[in-house]
């Protein structure tokens, strides 16, 4: 993470920047402040901790910032012992600054190695020892660079390496150089700590939830509720035990996946090859890769030879990838842009080939700075979930805390009048807090998510981030990759059409019928297909292309010198041989250099040689637009655009090929890509049919009926993408498609933006008709845009970007980083964005989306929160339905636990008022045998089979939720008071002894009547708040819950009508001999149920919405909804066939 510290005056060779420094990186922002220990403050805090019996330490554990402010004073970062880090989510972290003494002569050696930040060291107080000052945060190492006046990620030392620098490292590092780098970079380990049980226990017990539990149990013990306290204690111990076991199990699993140490061979600068532990690797080490392959322990740039790599662990993509040597040159190296030349940590090298005597790579990243380390770090330190439900849950707990405070004040007054001792008065008042704020609430609301996760696993969908299941229920837009996601992975060759200066030839349906020549050789050679155990392996498209011409792939055996000599001494990577019926071996072609396909470049190329002194040829294959732009203009047929439009409009995948002769004396291993891929001669077009998966149209239609927007994000041609979008019902055949064309700023022209209709040659007068009708219901339209236009739109027309995003359905020719950017831009409009892809080029977008679904064979891919084993998008509606079901269940459980607290809260306050209380076993019966059992099985109901057009609410603090809770609370209070007053109005009523208080008065009539009705209310509320239609199956599908309700209703009816002497004595219930009165109590409970049930139905029906009419209609808080309403009244958008410039004032502002 790059650090920009503020430069301040230097004094005594010591940089003294400001106490605060910003740390910037592409995806986060951190603020760092420096502090020094103040000894007297430290001792004062220790004394306060002792006097508070450790309470202060618990507070410091919860509020680390307060701990630092209390014990330290602010100071410049250069002098800091402790750093207070505030991350981009507002969370505070405390880290210690560590120092390490560097070896003698290290400064001079560093100066020789690099003329940059390597020389930045700190010499404190004129001490001649050179100290390295650093800290560790989330596994990453940050070192102090005095010249920058800040702490920087240690990777800053090698982030500016060029390709030439990497090739210079091919000679190897000396022992001293490596030792020095190891001190700077630290060990090459992705260390996931597995904490001992005792440490986990302390961390778990110090959780506010368990601290509150300990407080409650202590209070109950003091108040002589021994049995209840012991039962809750046992349950808490059981819960903690399960939690610790799961946490440690997950830590061990991640530790085993993350940490990997093996022996590797590296080259020293003396030329000697040495076997060392991978833990000792540092950036700059020259790694010798064995022929049998290797599980990579670091990120490395491949410099010699080729490697077949399985990257499924990182990307979820099961097809192995061929990695080729990094091209030489002065350009800056980046692992993201040079993915096809980079070997990533955690990937399996299946086999190596070529490279002369050995395959060589140079280490570029180690530890948590590797691709694998980055993914492990994202699992260990996930981003906090920005979800309304979880935020409102905390606010609602504060609301319950406020109610508890009011109840505590009321109980203080009542208990004071009852002449209780001060000790009893405090204990009883505090007991009210433990009742009003249920300690089991956070745990209860996760049960719905746990059930949903289990159901998803049974459906072949694996989840590594359970909190995101609830977020699935709020998804409003889903992005889909095209190839392999909406369409079949494999393609069939549809035909070939040669082209040149004279125009295009006739279409050749079977490439085997092509005459010998450059086009046929191009189809045979321009690929990265390789052999694994004699079987061809590679990209499905390229496999089909090679298969269509019947040529045979042969790879060098042994050192390959025989083949090298046969083809003019060039280092041969592979040989393509024509069918046996062809003339002679002279027709064989050798591939001597490959430049693999890059999504960003939209092309690949190869260099080939043939025996017999024939000229070497370079072939290029890629997107037609890109290939044509790199060809000499006179070689591109005049009909190129019309043919491309025609084929793409039919939904065909179109590729273009080109070639050019090369000088045979050139060193092809050192030739640069830019030199090969220019001034080419256009060869022709290859058309491939990509069939839409049969499930795609059905799923897209399901999402459309549910008012969920679908968007296609692909790297394919825009016309092909539009055709596929129509085939899978993303676009209706009667809906207009408007193409968005934006051009960037160039030396010759200003940026422009233009909207044009799909049909060519539309009459001039039609434009105004279409424009007037777009928003008035005359036409339904969608926008389509490609990657170049998207980039120009973001850079030069940001004011138009939200309006384009609101209506765009097809995004074509999008690079991987553009897919990620698109997801983030959609999120800025307050969409909850889902992304479904195959996990390869979509990794960034899958992780950036609120809900990322990777279609992969792997059980769980770190590429995304969800991984589906089904190879089609039928998992998406299931995931959304489960998300909605889980969210509704979480709502129901939250409301139930809140109402349970309020029922018990009211019961206790009513009984306090009449100088009595609930018995120990009465608490136990209600909490364990009624509420807990109901809460556990309430979430078992599965999702509805139909995806409803309306999404469930994610906010607890809304009028329907708060209004229904208020009405139910009133019904609860009135029901309990009715039971009490009916009892006291009976002729046989005997008042309790007011000289005693609490359980000393048990059994009595008041307690029995209030307890009986309250127990019925616990069961009543479970029925009332359990939601079914439209997002969950009806109540009767959850037969365990239904049976439990019937059993509990029967048990409570039995307890009221005839408890029996044993049970009555055990629960301390008063036996009423008047059967008519008992029936009346049951009738009051039934009336209470009827009232609450009817109220809930009316609230669900929207009766409380009449109050919204009083405040008037408010604008939606969601930007996309506000923008949509504004555009609906604007007949001037989009301005068809008008060329807009950045200065044009056609912006519709959001107020």
Q: Which residue in 248, 237, 138 sits closest to 200, CA to CA? A: 248
Strand 535-537 to 530-532 pairing = antiparallel
Strand 82-86 to 92-96 pairing = antiparallel
For 1115, counting Cβ atoms within 10 Å of its Cβ (0-12 exposed, 13-18 middle, 19+ buried), the class is: exposed
Q: Is the peptide bond before 1075 cis (omega within 30 degrees of 0)?
A: no
Q: Which two tokens stand for residue 819?
A: 């897919």
Q: Which residue in 178, 377, 381, 387 sits closest to 284, CA to CA? A: 178
- CA-to-CA dists, residue 161 to 116, 117, 210, 514, angstroms: 12, 13, 51, 46
Three-state DSSP class for residue 1007: helix
DSSP alpha helix (H) spans, 577-710 = 624-629, 640-649, 673-676, 694-705
Backbone angles phi, psi at 314, to 5 degrees: -90, -40
Q: Which residue in 554, 539, 461 sits closest to 876, CA to CA? A: 461
Ramachandran region, residue 554 (left: φ > 0; alpha: ψ -120 to 50; beta: rest) = beta
Catalytic residues: 481
Q: Which residue in 117, 115, 120, 92 sits closest to 10, CA to CA? A: 120
**DSSP label at residue 1036:** G
Q: Which residue in 233, 240, 234 sits closest to 217, CA to CA? A: 233
Q: Which two tokens stand for residue 1055?
A: 């307890």
CB 322 within 8 A of CB 870: no
Residue for token pair 């609490």? 998
CA–CA distance, 956 with 222 (Å, rounded to integer): 35
CA–CA distance, 1061 with 1078 (Å, rounded to integer): 16
CA–CA distance, 764 with 757 (Å, rounded to integer): 12
Sheet bearing 150-153, strands edge to edge:
98-101, 131-137, 140-145, 150-153
Residue for token pair 């993509």? 317
Q: Output b/e per residue, 164-188; b: 16+ Cβ within 10 A.
A: ebbbebeebbeeebbebbbbbbbbb
CB 286 within 8 A of CB 276: no
Which residues, 6+ apart, have CB-to-CB distance to 594 below 8 Å?
Answer: 306, 322, 324, 528, 573, 604, 605, 606, 607
Backbone angles phi, psi at 725, to 5 degrees: -60, -35
For 417, counting Cβ atoms within 10 Å of its Cβ (0-12 exposed, 13-18 middle, 19+ buried), the class is: exposed
CA–CA distance, 218 with 333 (Å, rounded to integer): 62
Three-state DSSP class for residue 755: strand
- CA-to-CA dists, residue 258 to 147, 278, 1133, angstroms: 35, 14, 52
CA–CA distance, 400 with 406 (Å, rounded to integer): 10
How long, in residues, is the chain? 1151
**DSSP label at residue 603:** E
Q: Which residue in 17, 51, 908, 18 sits closest to 436, CA to CA? A: 908
Q: Which residue in 668, 666, 392, 621 sits closest to 523, CA to CA? A: 621
Q: Residues 784, 789, 790, CA angle at the centre, nearest 5°?
A: 80
Concatenated DSSP letters of 323-368: E-PPPPSSSBP-TTTTGGGEEPTT-EEEEEE-STT-EEEEEEE-GG
């Amino acid at each position: 993470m790059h650090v920009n510290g503020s430069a301040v005056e230097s004094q005594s060779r010591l940089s003294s920047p400001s106490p605060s420094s910003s740390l910037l990186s592409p995806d986060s922002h951190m603020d760092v402040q420096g502090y020094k220990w103040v000894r007297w403050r430290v001792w004062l805090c220790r004394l306060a901790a002792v006097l508070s019996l450790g309470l202060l330490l618990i507070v410091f554990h919860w509020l680390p910032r307060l701990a630092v402010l209390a014990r330290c004073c602010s100071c410049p970062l250069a002098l800091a012992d402790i750093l207070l880090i505030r991350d981009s989510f507002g969370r505070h972290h405390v880290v210690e600054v560590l120092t390490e003494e560097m070896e003698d002569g290290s400064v001079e050696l560093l100066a020789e190695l690099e003329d940059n930040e390597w020389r930045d060291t700190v010499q404190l107080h004129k001490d001649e020892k050179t100290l390295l000052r650093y800290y560790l945060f989330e596994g990453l190492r940050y070192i102090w660079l005095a010249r920058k006046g800040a702490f920087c990620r240690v990777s800053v030392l090698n982030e500016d390496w060029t390709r030439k620098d990497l090739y210079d490292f091919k000679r190897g590092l000396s022992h001293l150089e490596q030792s020095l780098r190891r001190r700077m970079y630290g060990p090459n380990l992705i260390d996931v700590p597995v904490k001992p049980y005792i440490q986990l226990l302390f961390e778990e017990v110090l959780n506010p939830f368990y601290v509150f539990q300990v407080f409650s149990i202590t209070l109950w013990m003091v108040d002589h509720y021994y049995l209840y306290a012991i039962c809750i204690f046992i349950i808490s111990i059981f819960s903690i035990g399960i939690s610790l076991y799961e946490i440690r199990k997950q830590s061990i699993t991640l530790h085993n996946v993350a940490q990997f140490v093996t022996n590797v061979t590296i080259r020293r600068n003396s030329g000697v090859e040495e076997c060392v532990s991978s833990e000792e690797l540092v950036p700059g080490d020259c790694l010798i890769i064995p022929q049998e392959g290797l599980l990579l322990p670091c990120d490395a740039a491949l410099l010699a030879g080729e490697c077949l790599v399985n990257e499924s662990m990182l990307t979820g993509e099961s097809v192995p990838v061929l990695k080729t040597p990094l091209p030489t040159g002065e350009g800056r190296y980046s692992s993201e842009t040079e993915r096809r030349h980079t070997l990533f940590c955690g990937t399996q090298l299946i086999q190596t080939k070529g490279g002369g005597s050995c395959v060589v790579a140079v280490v570029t990243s180690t530890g948590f700075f590797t691709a694998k380390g980055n993914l492990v770090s994202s699992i260990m330190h996930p981003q906090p979930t920005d979800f309304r439900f979880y935020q409102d849950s905390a606010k609602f707990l504060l609301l319950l805390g406020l109610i508890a405070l009011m109840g505590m004040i009321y109980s203080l007054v009542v208990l004071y009048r009852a002449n209780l001792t001060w000790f009893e008065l405090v204990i009883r008042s505090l007991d009210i807090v433990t009742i009003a704020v249920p300690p089991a609430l956070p745990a209860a609301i996760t049960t719905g998510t746990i059930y949903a996760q289990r159901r998803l696993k049974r459906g072949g969908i694996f989840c590594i981030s359970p909190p995101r299941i609830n977020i699935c229920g709020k998804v409003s837009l889903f992005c889909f990759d095209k190839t392999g996601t909406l369409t079949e992975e494999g393609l069939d060759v549809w035909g070939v059409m040669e082209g040149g200066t004279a125009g295009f030839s006739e279409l050749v349906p079977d490439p085997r019928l092509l005459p010998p020549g450059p086009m046929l050789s191009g189809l045979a050679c321009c690929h990265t297909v390789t052999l694994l155990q004699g079987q061809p392996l590679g990209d499905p498209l390229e496999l089909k292309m090679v298969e269509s011409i019947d040529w045979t792939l042969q790879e060098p055996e042994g050192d390959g010198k025989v083949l090298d000599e046969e083809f003019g001494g060039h280092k041969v990577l592979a040989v393509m041989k024509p069918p046996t019926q062809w003339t002679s071996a002279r027709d064989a072609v050798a591939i001597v250099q490959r430049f693999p396909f890059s999504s960003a470049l939209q092309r690949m190329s190869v260099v080939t040689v043939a025996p017999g002194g024939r000229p070497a040829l370079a072939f290029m294959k890629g997107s037609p637009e890109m290939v044509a732009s790199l060809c000499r203009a006179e070689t591109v047929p005049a009909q190129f655009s019309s043919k491309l439009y025609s084929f793409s409009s039919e939904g065909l995948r179109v590729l273009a090929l080109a070639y050019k002769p090369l000088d045979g004396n050139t060193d092809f291993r050192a030739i640069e890509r830019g030199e090969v891929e220019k001034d080419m001669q256009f060869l022709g077009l290859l058309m491939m049919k990509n069939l839409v998966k049969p499930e795609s149209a059905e799923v897209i239609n399901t999402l459309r009926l549910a008012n969920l927007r679908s968007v296609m994000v692909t790297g394919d041609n825009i016309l092909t993408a539009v055709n596929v979008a129509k085939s899978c019902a993303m676009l209706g055949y009667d809906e207009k498609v408007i193409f968005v064309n934006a051009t960037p700023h160039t030396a010759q022209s200003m940026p422009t933006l233009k909207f044009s209709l799909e049909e060519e040659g539309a009459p001039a007068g039609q434009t105004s008709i279409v424009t007037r009708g777009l928003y008035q219901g005359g036409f339904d339209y969608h926008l389509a845009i490609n990657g170049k236009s998207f980039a120009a739109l973001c850079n030069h027309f940001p004011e138009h970007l939200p309006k384009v995003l609101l209506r765009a359905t097809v995004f074509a020719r999008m690079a991987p980083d553009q897919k990620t950017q698109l997801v983030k831009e959609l999120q800025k409009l307050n969409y909850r964005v889902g992304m479904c892809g195959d996990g390869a080029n979509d990794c960034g977008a899958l992780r950036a989306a609120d809900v990322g679904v990777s279609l992969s064979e792997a059980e769980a891919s770190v590429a995304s929160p969800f991984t589906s084993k089904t190879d089609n998008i039928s998992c998406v509606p299931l995931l959304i339905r489960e998300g909605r079901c889980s969210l509704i269940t979480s709502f129901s459980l939250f409301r139930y636990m809140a109402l349970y607290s309020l029922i018990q809260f009211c019961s206790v306050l009513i009984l306090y008022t009449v100088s009595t209380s609930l018995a120990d076993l009465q608490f136990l019966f209600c909490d364990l045998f009624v509420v807990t059992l109901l809460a556990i099985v309430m979430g078992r109901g599965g999702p509805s089979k139909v995806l409803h057009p309306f999404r469930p609410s994610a906010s607890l603090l809304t009028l329907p939720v708060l209004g229904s809770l208020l009405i139910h609370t009133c019904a609860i209070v009135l029901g309990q008071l009715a039971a009490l007053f009916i009892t006291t109005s009976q002729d046989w009523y005997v008042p309790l002894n007011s000289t005693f208080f609490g359980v000393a008065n048990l059994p009595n009539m008041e307690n029995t009547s209030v307890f009986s009705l309250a127990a019925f209310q616990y069961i009543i509320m479970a029925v009332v708040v359990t939601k079914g239609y439209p997002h969950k199956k009806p109540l009767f599908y959850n037969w365990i819950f239904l049976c439990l309700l019937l059993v509990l209703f029967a048990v409570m009816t039995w307890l009221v009508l005839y408890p029996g002497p044993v049970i009555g004595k055990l629960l301390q219930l008063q036996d009423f001999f008047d059967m008519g009165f008992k029936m009346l109590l049951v009738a009051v409970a039934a009336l209470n149920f009827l009232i609450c049930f009817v109220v809930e139905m009316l609230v669900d029906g929207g009766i409380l919405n009449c109050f919204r009419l009083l405040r008037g209609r408010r604008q939606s808080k969601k930007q996309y909804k506000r923008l949509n309403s504004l555009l609906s009244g604007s007949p001037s958008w989009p301005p068809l066939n008008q060329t807009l410039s950045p200065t044009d004032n056609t912006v519709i502002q959001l107020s």
